Amino acid sequence: MESNSTIFFVNTLFASTYGLTVAVGLPLNSFSLWVFCKRLKRQTAPVIYLTNLAISDLLFILSLPFRIHYFITTQWLFGNFICTLSETIFSVNFYTSTLFITLISIDRYLAIVHPFQSNFLRSPKVASAACAVVWFIIILMSFPIAFQYHQKDQINSTICYEGYPAETWKSAVKLILLITMLVFAMPFVIIIICFFAVVRVMFRIRKEDQTFKRYKIVPLFLLNIGVFTVCFLPFNVTLVLYGLY
């Protein structure tokens, strides 16, 4: 049995973390989206990918005020539909982010390793089509994920985001393993492969070549790998282990 002090600490931690995320993420992602849509007149493939990434992050951030209210009040007041919707958006954002970051990495890999042969693949039309495919995949994923989430009525209270029984985890664990493999592990491997391919090409050319200075390609890949390692890896590993347990 959890003590009241432990529950208070956990709820305060969640509410504070989500509140800080909204306070920082909402203005920064809104500004980024405004820059991509209004200020950058040339719609290149990276801009299209970054625009969709900002939209994905904004959707995630807009789902957090419901969580903040819930963990402050410890009572869910918004009905079953909002519980399912906000939790689904919260979950699938991890995978829209991984896929869009992977597309950015693939685009930079093609620009450096196959600059002439890949002009068509790096066109705005192909980038828009790739983003449409990602959103289509995520929408398909959202349906089985949504079925796992709903509000739960208890004595004198209604809860959301927590309290799922062992039966729910048993039915969801195969889905968790499949999604983790397809939209986290495989994209992570692709990014690492692209990074080493770019580094191999980099050592073949003269140090004074301006290509890598212009694209800042190595720092970009290191940033993407760092995001996967720091932000996505702990979540996915913990989710899989907890589901298996």
- Per DSSP, 123 falls in state S
Task: Tell me how far apart the alpha carbons of residues 163 and 144 are, in angstroms, rounded to a whole number.
Answer: 19
Are 123 and 45 a contacting pair, CB within 8 Å? yes
Burial class of residue 3 (count of CB atoms within 10 Å of its CB; 0-12, 13-18, 19+)? exposed
Axis-axis angle for helices 45-73, 4-34 (nearest 10): 150
Other beta carbons within 10 Å of 38: 8
Are 124 and 51 a contacting pair, CB within 8 Å? no
Task: Tell me how far apart the alpha carbons of residues 233 and 187 are, in angstroms, rounded to a whole number.
Answer: 12
Question: What are the helix (H) ranges across the chain?
Answer: 4-34, 45-73, 79-113, 124-146, 166-180, 186-202, 211-215, 217-227, 233-244
* SS3 at position 154: strand
pLDDT in tens, the chain (245 residues): 567 788 888 889 999 999 999 999 999 999 999 988 887 777 889 899 999 999 999 999 999 999 999 999 888 888 888 888 888 888 888 889 999 999 999 998 998 888 888 888 889 999 999 999 999 998 888 887 777 777 777 766 787 877 677 777 777 788 888 888 998 999 999 999 998 888 888 777 755 555 555 557 778 888 889 989 998 899 889 988 888 88
What integer pLDDT is reported at residue 219 of this predicted model?
82
Task: Tell me how far apart the alpha carbons of residues 101 and 183 are, in angstroms, rounded to a whole number.
Answer: 11
Are 176 and 243 a contacting pair, CB within 8 Å? yes
Task: Tell me how far apart the alpha carbons of residues 67 and 133 are, in angstroms, rounded to a whole number.
Answer: 29
DSSP string, 62-113: HHHHHHHHHHHHS---SHHHHHHHHHHHHHHHHHHHHHHHHHHHHHHHHHHH
Task: Tell me how far apart the alpha carbons of residues 104 and 112 are, in angstroms, rounded to a whole number.
Answer: 13
User: 158 phi and psi, to 5 degrees?
Assistant: -130, 130
What integer pLDDT is reported at residue 21 of this predicted model?
94
User: 203 phi and psi, to 5 degrees?
Assistant: -75, -10
